[in-house]
Amino acid sequence: MDRIRAYDELCVRLTNKNLIKHSLAVEAIMRELAVQLKSDPEIWGLVGLVHDIDYDRTADNPAMHGVMGAEILEGLGFDTEIIYAVKAHNPHNLVERKRKVDKALFCADPVSGLITAGALILPSKKLEDVTVEFIIKRMAEKSFARGANREQIKKCDELGLSLEEFLGISLNAMKKISAELGL
């Protein structure tokens, strides 16, 4: 599956433009993590791009999120590595995160929302004005970006990355596509 077709399949299934932007952000983060961890940025990028492909159909049933996504991706002929990572990214599924790509997606998914929320509270509303220090400070505020699971983000240590390293990689990845994200 190539990236263009994967993006088209995503856009057919997701109606929320912000969710598509989230998918693009996670794709960018996953690509950067792959480079850092000496893995395949194409595969990892696809994982990030399509991880929420089922969200419109599973928003009211979190236990099916990822499971249905895996079924959709299997039907589209995606690689088994991508399918497994999508299934494993939702902690409700109790699917073991075995490989680095699985663990990376688990962390990248919530961090994209945390970084986006950080940009949106700044007067400029621009990623270029966000720093790692700013995000770390905001992480400590429980009321800030409540949907961004801090414990999931902190699992970046399973990738051999400190929180600061992980946030730096993620922030830089999102800054590279800031125009696409509207940030």
Query: Which domains can be identified in the chain, with CATH numbers?
Result: 3-181 (1.10.3210)
Averaged over 122-141, what is the pLDDT?
Answer: 97
Report whether pLDDT(94) > 90. Answer: no
Q: Which two tokens stand for residue 20?
A: 């598509």
Averaged over 35-47, what is the pLDDT?
Answer: 98
Residue at token pair 């249905």: 68
pLDDT for 117: 98
**Range in 91-95, 102-106, 123-127, 129-133 with the lowest mean pLDDT:** 91-95
Report whether pLDDT(1) > 90. Answer: no
pLDDT classification of 38: cutoffs 50, 70, 90: very high
Report whether pLDDT(156) > 90. Answer: yes
- Taking the model in full, what pTM does it have? 0.97
- Distance between CA atoms of 28 and 48, rounded to whole angstroms? 8
> What is the crossing angle of helices 100-120 and 80-88, to 10°?
60
pLDDT for 97: 97
How many CA atoms, within 13 angstroms, populate the side-chain half-sphere of residue 6?
25
Share of the chain above pLDDT 70, in %: 100
pLDDT for 131: 98
Averaged over 137-143, what is the pLDDT?
Answer: 95
- Distance between CA atoms of 51 and 45, rounded to whole angstroms? 10
Report whether pLDDT(67) > 90. Answer: yes
